[in-house]
């Protein structure tokens, strides 16, 4: 502005050309990344299509067949539907129980693991890496692996699924909990330390009240996820609604009304608990901000 | 502060404390009652009866050890040596393990002076140092032994079948065959089966030694034989892991691509028409609520088992989840940046490109990459249901209930795969968003 006589001094032009070159280079890079991504997606789709039993383009046209069959048969026998829903209700309760118990156990274990593996709070700071790796492994093992192995030892039923989901939940929640605990205010911990409080007292009286809303919110989210997981594990023999679904499916046509009743129960449960948990989670996080 | 005020505060505090005390006791009490209910609902007391601890022992020992079967047919007298008793693990003709010796009398040294001798006329001698000599003979379907009335619990003997279990190995004798199992630690034939000329050679010999197979170079031949190992099927396992990762990749990114435009329709700021917004949101809720399990079941009917079905199941479920997350992120976009871009005279599309997208990208990428890792786990589970990838191999291996070393191998691979995807997604997040959390 002071140098109105020469609007384009050499420095500015240089900067501009540098800037344009940089922009072009960046565009080239993002273009290349996008290209690689598109190639990966297309190639991946083709591989998946080739290795699938039925092709994508044949299947897409038949996608509605099975739901249509199930719905039409269920509609024909709609008078039985309430009775079937009542019959499968205990299985639903079992699925929810598996999810609830494993969430409680997983959250308790995750709470302990998280406090033990958070810098500044840990009881034995030397062992932090050990507890972290433990949580990593607990998180990495898919539930189905533990469930199938335990079914072999303990026999079918809800307990293998419960243990499997609890182990995974402990790992997953432990990590999230420890991220929250890292941000906890240490002043109150120091205050308690000065009174000679033990580690347990410090955690109970100063850390937990700070992190409780977030912990509860994560636990509710996990409960939502665990309901789905417990339904899926039922499908491989761990009891509950998934197990009934597999049996109904195995019968094929003629029992589609049973499959429909189970679909309805499962869908309704998942949506219901989604709504409840998201409402409570909103309240918890809002309460914290307010 | 007057004393009346003080009293009020005091009574309020008392009430609050009392309520807190009540909650502090009621909450654990409710959980305790619930656990008691579950204890009976799940029949935990009956669990000990149903549990099969022999299975647990087999599982624990088989997963890190292998056994070599020495089988004598009591009809033809032929003796066969095979790892895990599998056809693929059979010793080639004329070869046998070095702990077996003798011509007419085959002597099997199980270690710690426990010796089994396979004699003529279908006679078998088992020499257990702490017990003595056990003799058995098979005639037709009948087994006669020198065991008297006092039989220790590690031997089970009837006139049809004799089973002896020692810490060194196991011997079973029936009318048709005599089998000796010798246990060793490790995963046998993991690198090469007996058919491969490279079996028994060390890494140094293969890399630097003379050419073992005249037809092929050492490294090339060894890699080929390892890759096509019939016992451990390394190439199929690699394919299966690839399929699982592919399912997660296609599902996650496909869902993101579909959910992004839809999420604009579900966000208040970008979709002023209430009906469109509500319809899109209900669609998201629906596909999320149906859940991957039901989608898998429905899609498997249309597409058959395979990785495509798995990818589509993940894709459909996650479209709902992503749609919800993305539209929430869109609602929280900061207006100031858009205004700033607007003040330069930008057109609507440019406003989105430079005002909205830069705010969204970090949130979206973080979510997508997080889901990529968690979907690797889902893909393993969905694969077990719909028949594809490492999930299927693992389920099959568990259901055959004997290849526990393979089960252990697959479990390790699955854990490594998930951790690998975890670090890849963490690394990508760090590269693309610029911070690591």
- pLDDT digit string (tens) for B63-72? 777 777 777 7
Residues 6+ apart with CB under 8 A from A97: A158, B38, B41, B42
Q: Quick check: B240 pLDDT over 50?
A: yes
Who's near B177: CB < 8 A, 6+ residues apart?
A: B71, B72, B73, B74
Q: What are the pLDDT digits (tens) for B9-19?
A: 999 999 998 98
Decide if pLDDT at A119 tops 80.
yes
Testing the interface with B: which of A92, A133, A152 to mutate, by most B Cβ within 10 A?
A152
Residue A45: closest C-alpha in chain B: B250
Cα B348 from Cα B331, distance rounded (Å): 17
* Confidence (pLDDT) at A107: 94
Of the pLDDT bands very low, low, confident and very high (cuts 50, 70, 90), residue B437 is: very low
Fold observed for domain B234-433: MetI-like fold (1.10.3720)
pLDDT at A102 over 90: yes
User: Residues of B with CB below 8 A from A54's CB?
Assistant: 302-304, 306
In this predicted structure, what is the pLDDT of residue A1? Answer: 46
Chain A residue numbers touching B247 (CB-CB < 8 A):
48
Mean pLDDT of chain B: 80
pLDDT of residue B85: 67
Q: Please indicate if any CB of chain A lies within 8 Å of the CB of B49.
A: no
pLDDT band at B318 (very low <50, low <70, confident <90, very high): very high
Residue A290: predicted pLDDT: 38
Strand segments, DSSP code E, in A34-188 are none
pLDDT at A108: 93
3-class state of residue B419 by DSSP: helix
Of the two residues B338 and B86, the one the predictor is more confident about is B338
Q: In what order do the strands lie in the sheet with B100-101?
A: B100-101, B106-111, B114-118, B123-128, B132-139, B142-145
Chain A CB within 8 Å of residue B375 CB: no
Q: Tell which residue, A206, A215, A183, has the closest CA to residue A110.
A: A215
Q: pLDDT tens digit string along B37-59?
A: 888 888 887 777 777 777 777 77
Size of interface A-B (CB pairs under 8 A): 176
Taking alpha carbons only, the member of A226, A130, A97, A233 closest to residue A173 is A226
Q: Say if the ipTM goes beyond 0.95.
A: no
Instruction: Tell me the mean pLDDT in the region B249-270.
Output: 88
Ordered strands of the B177-185 beta sheet: B79-83, B65-73, B177-185, B169-174, B161-165, B155-157
- Supply the pLDDT for residue A110: 93
pLDDT number for residue B254: 93
From chain B, pick out residues whose CB is under 8 angstroms from the CB of A93: 41
Query: How much of chain A exceeds pLDDT 70, in percent?
Result: 95
Rounded to whole angstroms, how far apart are CA atoms A26 and A29?
Answer: 5
Which residues of chain B does A62 touch, with a Cβ-Cβ cutoff of 8 Å? 301-302
Residue A50: is its pLDDT beyond 80? yes
Answer yes or no: is pLDDT of B216 > 50. Answer: yes
Residue A47 is predicted with a pLDDT of 86
SS3 of residue B366 by DSSP: helix
- pLDDT for B102 equals 72
**Residue A4: is its pLDDT beyond 70?**
no
B124, β-bridge pairs: B118, B136
The pLDDT of A78-106, averaged and rounded, is: 89
| pLDDT in the model for residue A288 | 52
Distance of CA A109 to the CA centre of its chain: 17
What integer is the mean pLDDT of B204-213? 68
Q: Please tell me what DSSP assigns to residue B172.
A: E
> Using one digit for the tens of pLDDT, what is the confidence trace for B393-430?
888 888 877 778 888 888 888 888 988 988 888 888 88
pLDDT the model gives residue B353: 81
| Distance from C-alpha of A272 to C-alpha of A6, rounded to nearest angstrom | 70
The pLDDT, as a whole number, for residue B264 is 86
Nearest CA in chain A to B58: A153
Rounded Cα gap, residues B126 and B114, in angstroms: 7
pLDDT given at position B206:
67
What average pLDDT does this structure show over B205-234? Answer: 72
Q: Where residue B319 falls among pLDDT bands split at 50, 70, 90?
A: very high
pLDDT at residue B90 is higher than 50: yes
A143-157 residue pLDDT tens: 888 888 888 888 878
pLDDT, position B436: 43
Q: What is the mean pLDDT of chain A?
A: 85
> Please, which residues bridge with residue B137 across strands?
B123, B144
Contact A159 B304 (CB under 8 A): no
């Amino acid at each position: 502005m002071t140098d109105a006589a020469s609007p384009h001094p050499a420095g500015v032009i240089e900067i501009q050309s540098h800037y344009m070159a940089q922009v072009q280079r960046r565009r080239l890079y993002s273009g290349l990344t996008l290209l690689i991504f598109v190639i990966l997606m297309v190639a991946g789709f083709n591989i998946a299509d080739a290795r699938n039993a039925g092709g994508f383009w044949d299947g897409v046209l038949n996608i509605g067949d099975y739901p249509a069959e199930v719905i039409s048969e269920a509609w024909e026998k709609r008078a039985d539907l309430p009775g079937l829903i009542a019959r499968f209700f205990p299985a639903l309760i079992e699925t929810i129980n598996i999810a609830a118990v494993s969430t409680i156990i997983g959250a308790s274990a995750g709470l302990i693991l998280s406090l033990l593996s958070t810098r500044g709070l840990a009881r034995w700071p030397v062992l932090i890496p050990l507890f972290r790796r433990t949580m990593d492994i607990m998180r990495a093992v898919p539930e189905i692996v533990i469930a199938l192995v335990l079914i072999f030892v303990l026999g079918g039923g809800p307990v293998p699924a419960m243990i499997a989901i609890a182990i995974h939940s402990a790992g997953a929640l432990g990590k999230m909990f420890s991220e929250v605990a890292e941000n906890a205010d240490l002043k109150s911990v120091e205050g308690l330390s000065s009174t000679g409080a033990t580690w347990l007292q410090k955690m109970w009286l100063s850390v937990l009240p700070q992190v409780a809303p977030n912990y509860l919110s994560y636990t509710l989210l996990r409960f939502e996820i665990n309901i789905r997981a417990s339904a899926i594990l039922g499908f491989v023999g761990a009891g509950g609604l998934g197990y009934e679904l597999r049996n109904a499916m195995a019968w094929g046509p003629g029992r589609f009304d049973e499959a429909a009743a189970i679909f309805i129960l499962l869908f309704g449960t998942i949506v219901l608990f989604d709504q409840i948990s998201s409402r409570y989670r909103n309240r918890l996080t809002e309460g914290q901000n307010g | 502060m007057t004393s009346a005020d003080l009293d009020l505060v005091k009574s309020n505090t008392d009430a609050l404390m009392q309520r807190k005390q009540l909650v502090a006791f009621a909450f654990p009490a409710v959980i305790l009652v619930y656990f008691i209910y579950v204890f009976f609902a799940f029949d935990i007391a009956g669990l000990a009866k149903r549990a099969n601890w022999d299975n647990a022992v087999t599982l624990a020992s088989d997963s890190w050890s292998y056994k070599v079967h020495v089988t004598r047919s009591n009809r033809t007298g032929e003796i066969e040596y095979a790892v895990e008793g599998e056809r693929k693990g059979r010793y080639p003709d004329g070869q046998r393990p070095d702990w077996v010796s003798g011509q007419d009398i085959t002597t099997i040294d199980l270690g710690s002076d426990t010796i089994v001798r396979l004699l003529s006329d279908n006679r078998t001698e088992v020499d257990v140092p702490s017990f003595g000599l056990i003799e058995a003979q098979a005639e037709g379907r009948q087994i006669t032994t020198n065991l008297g009335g006092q039989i220790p619990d590690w031997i089970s003997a009837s006139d049809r079948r004799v089973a002896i279990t020692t810490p060194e190995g196991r011997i079973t004798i029936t009318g048709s065959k005599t089998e000796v199992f010798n246990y060793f630690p490790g995963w046998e034939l993991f690198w090469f089966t007996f058919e491969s000329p490279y079996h028994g050679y060390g890494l140094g010999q293969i890399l630097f030694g003379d050419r073992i197979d005249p037809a092929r170079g050492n490294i090339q031949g060894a890699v080929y034989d390892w890759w096509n190992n019939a016992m451990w099927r390394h190439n199929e396992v690699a394919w299966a892991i690839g399929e699982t990762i592919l399912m997660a990749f296609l599902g996650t990114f496909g869902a993101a691509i579909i959910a992004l435009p839809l999420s604009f329709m579900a966000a208040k700021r970008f979709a002023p028409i209430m009906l469109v917004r509500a319809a899109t949101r209900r669609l998201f809720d629906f596909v999320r609520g149906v859940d991957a399990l039901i989608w898998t079941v429905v899609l498997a009917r249309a597409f058959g088992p395979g990785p495509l079905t798995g990818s589509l199941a993940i894709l459909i479920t996650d479209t709902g989840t992503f749609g919800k997350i993305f539209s929430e992120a869109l609602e929280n976009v900061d207006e100031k940046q858009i205004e700033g871009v607007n003040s330069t005279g930008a057109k609507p599309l440019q406003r989105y490109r430079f005002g909205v997208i830069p705010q969204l990208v970090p949130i979206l990428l973080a979510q997508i990459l997080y889901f990529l890792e968690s979907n690797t786990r889902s893909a393993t589970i969905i694969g077990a249901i719909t028949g594809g990838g490492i999930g299927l191999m693992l389920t099959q291996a568990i259901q055959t209930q004997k290849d526990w070393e393979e089960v252990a191998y697959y479990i390790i691979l699955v854990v490594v795969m998930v951790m690998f995807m975890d670090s890849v997604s963490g690394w990508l997040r760090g590269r693309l968003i610029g911070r690591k959390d």
